[in-house]
Chain A
Amino acid sequence: MIEVQGLGKLYGDFVAVDELSFSVKPGEVMGLIGPNGAGKTSTLRCMAGIIPPTRGAVRVCGHDLALDPIAAKRQLAFFTDEPRLFDYLTVWQHLNFVSRIYQVADWAATGRALLEELELADKSDRLPGELSRGMKQKLAIACGLLHAPRVMYFDEPLTGLDPIGIRRMKDSILKRARDGAAIIISSHLLHLVGEVCSHILILKNGRKVIDGTIAEITRKFSQHPGDANLEEVFFRATDEPPRAP
């Protein structure tokens, strides 16, 4: 469902993403992890069509993002760590706006259900400026989910959410994956990745260090069975041992 082939992104002479290839199938949740500056956000932004890749190809549900961006974008949703909303549209007007862009016929019913699910039902007439950070994040999620995307990218999805919100977000991601969506999560929270993701891809300096199922990767970086958790795998894979305090 998501196919990335030879993706590269240069900022001037700086190589942010280099020869990245992987795929995510329906129902899979892939964790994109790596140290700061590894190229995670650049990768996601290229894969969402926000910035043009310098080279390589991205296919979303069989549509090439460069050749047929409209068809590809209809299938995807990108949730950024910092919710990007229009200051002057209310919660409900945001959903109305998205419904026209994505031509969602039954948007009102779906929108109401999403607002209920995300505990925003009583805030439908509020502007983003009147919402807390977590509520803004929930509104961005509601907007992203309104057109039932089959491909979803999450960039640090738990930022700003309270414990209940975190739990619901995890459940929501898993539910969408069970329903057949292909999902990529970029996060520094390795426990989230461990709980939610079926696969991981570790990036360092824009290059893929390794990808596969969590079991495969853990096995690869263990000297003895069971001696490495995901955190240990991360440090071993990126050659960044934790420093003693």
Chain B
Amino acid sequence: MISALAFLQYHSTKNRLLLRFKRLKQPKYLIGAVVGGLYFYWYFSRFLFAPRGRLERAGATAGLPVDPLLYESIGALVLLVLVLLAWLIPHKRAALAFTEAEVAFLFPAPVSRRMLMHFKLLRSQLAILFTVLLFTYLSTRLSTGNGLIRAAGWWVMLSTLNLHFLGSSFARTLMLDRGISNWKRRGLVLAMLLAGLGIVGVWAVRGIPELRFADLADFESLKQYGEQVLVSGPLPYLLSPFRLVVRPYLATDWLALLSALWPAALLLALHYWWIIRADVAFEEASVEASQKIAERIAAARAGNWQAANRKLRAKHAPFPLRPHGPAAVALLWKNLIGAGNAFTLRTWIILAAVVFGVSMGMRGASSASNWLAVLAGFAVALGFMAVLLGPQLVRQDFRQDLQHADMLKLLPMRGWQIALGEILAPAVILTAVHWLLIIVAVALLPRMAEGNISGSLVLALGAGAAVVLPMLNMISLLIPNAAVLLFPGWFQPGKDAPHGIEATGQRLVFALGQFLAFIVALLPAAAVFTGFFFLVKLIAGSLLAVPVAALAAAAVLGLEAGLGVMLLGWLFERLDLSAEPT
């Protein structure tokens, strides 16, 4: 039977790789693969193939652990936290992650539960080995040492954790079956944790110099105290099973690795025995989990990260939608609902009032302007980031609705109406965020820059930004939406969506393209702004020049946005769904 499962795994992997190689005949995948390959080379491979001396120089800054026991204890502590979380947080029954097809074929087949578990364990090794490769690369960059020894260490840690997580999920299920509720189990684990902490605490109070309140501010004192707790007293003993798992990673040579490896291997074997002996029914929960995983993958590949990451709940409408009026508003309304309950007019008005009140309060109460400067600067920086990154994060537009393109095509609306409706929601959300940040900056900047900038000028700058930013958001959203409609195949949702190196390369190409297009779109508005600014400044002074120039720039951006919407609509009308699977 194991041969059939091995056959499945081997051919699935082989066919997947072949398919990806065949796809390289298409330019969109080839370009993505080349750019993605260069990216990965730049960040990863050049270090792996770098001359030895360079590697060592790169790692020389961090060096090898000075005190193995200290680093062993730190590593063990991290493992302890991970293990505790595995016992404390989960509340569901044990479920092994299978795909829907595996559930459909393997669960009704004459395959024993133990065999399914072996299949799952063997397959998890593929993911573990990939992670080992990545971690080994990262860890050899941070410190010197033999890469193979590091790899063996990572493999022991990750495999043990993997088995422990599985074993703990089985134990949790068995407890539930025997009437031990999740909260009872958590209480028990917390009691054990508190007992351990108590032992360490009592020892620390009696055994090492007391940590004074003043020492908390001194990082060096704090570090020394932590080191003493970690390397002496009961903690190293309490952490001993975890230290066994960490020890192979810290081995300095092959002999040390061998001597560290056998206790860790024994622990690994014990975990394996624990899992194989546990007769836990995981099938039902696995079926449910496989469906959820499939839904999440489909949602994530469709660009709908919200649906991928959380359970959907019915949400309030942002405003009442009447049956008469521009049809594009229906799409805005729909997409705002999709964005979540936070995006209602009432919420944003309350938020704006609170932000304004708090900002003004801070401005009035503070005598020192340093931290107000930090806050104001942070608001301005966040505003710039929102312009550049916001369109990538807020995607309630064609990028989310491409999977519903056939429904949108059925609607009795012009292309430009659909395009406008689609990009309105993210534009509204980003504008609301910008206006909040403007409120903060306008409230805090005059106080911060006393004497240098007048309050009136800051107000003028704020008003100018408030006028320009909605249009700027429209422009910045037009670009990724046009990309989706121009190259729908690149944004293909579902199981055929590109992933891996090709997808990374495609994203990089689009990010660069978007940045360039954004700059080009900004140039006319920037020229108009400059012209108007100097003209009005000569006539009426700086105070009036800023908002007037901003209005003129906003008009240019508005015109560009209007033309962009028309173009987007034209692209949507010409989007041939039969040519590009969506």
- Residues of A whose CB lies within 8 Å of any CB of B are 9, 11, 42, 45, 48-52, 69-71, 73-74, 78, 80, 84, 86-90, 93, 96-97, 99-105, 107, 125-127, 129
A84 touches B327 (CB 8 A): no
CB of B577 closer than 8 Å to a CB of A: yes
A86 touches B314 (CB 8 A): no
CB of A67 to closest CB in B, whole Å: 13
**In the complex, chain A residues whose CB is within 8 Å of the CB of B528:** none
B313 touches A49 (CB 8 A): no
CA distance A100 to B329 in the complex (A): 8
CB of B249 closer than 8 Å to a CB of A: no
**In the complex, chain A residues whose CB is within 8 Å of the CB of B578:** 9, 11, 42, 45, 51-52
Q: What are the interface flags for B394-407 relative to A under an 8 Å C-beta threshold, 1 for contact and 0 otherwise?
A: 00000000001011
B327 touches A100 (CB 8 A): yes
CB of B307 closer than 8 Å to a CB of A: yes
**In the complex, chain A residues whose CB is within 8 Å of the CB of B327:** 100-101, 103
CB of B285 to closest CB in A, whole Å: 19
> Which of A50, A102, A107 is close to B577, meaning CB atoms less than 8 Å apart?
A50
CA distance A87 to B403 in the complex (A): 11
**In the complex, chain B residues whose CB is within 8 Å of the CB of A99:** 321, 323
CA distance A45 to B576 in the complex (A): 11
**In the complex, chain B residues whose CB is within 8 Å of the CB of A78:** 410
A51 touches B576 (CB 8 A): yes
A49 touches B323 (CB 8 A): no
**In the complex, chain B residues whose CB is within 8 Å of the CB of A103:** 323-324, 327
Binds A, one of B187-195, B227-235, B331-339, B535-543: B331-339
- Residues of B whose CB lies within 8 Å of any CB of A are 299, 304, 307, 312-315, 317, 321-325, 327, 329-330, 333-334, 337-338, 404, 406-407, 409-414, 576-579
Question: With contacts defined as CB atoms under 8 Å apart, how many contacts are there between chain A and chain B in the complex?
Answer: 91
Given A70-B413, A87-B312, the answer on whether A107 and B323 have CB atoms closer than 8 Å is yes
CA distance A101 to B418 in the complex (A): 10
> Besides A51-B577, A100-B323, A105-B323, 15 other CB < 8 A contacts?
A11-B578, A48-B410, A50-B406, A69-B412, A70-B413, A80-B406, A84-B407, A88-B312, A89-B338, A93-B317, A93-B337, A100-B330, A101-B327, A103-B323, A103-B327
Given A50-B406, A90-B314, A96-B317, the answer on whether A101 and B337 have CB atoms closer than 8 Å is no
Residue of B nearest to A75 (CB): B412
**Which of A80, A84, A87 has the most chain B CB atoms inside 10 A of its CB?**
A87
A86 touches B404 (CB 8 A): yes
CB of B16 to closest CB in A, whole Å: 25
CA distance A51 to B577 in the complex (A): 6
Given A87-B312, A125-B314, the answer on whether A49 and B334 have CB atoms closer than 8 Å is no
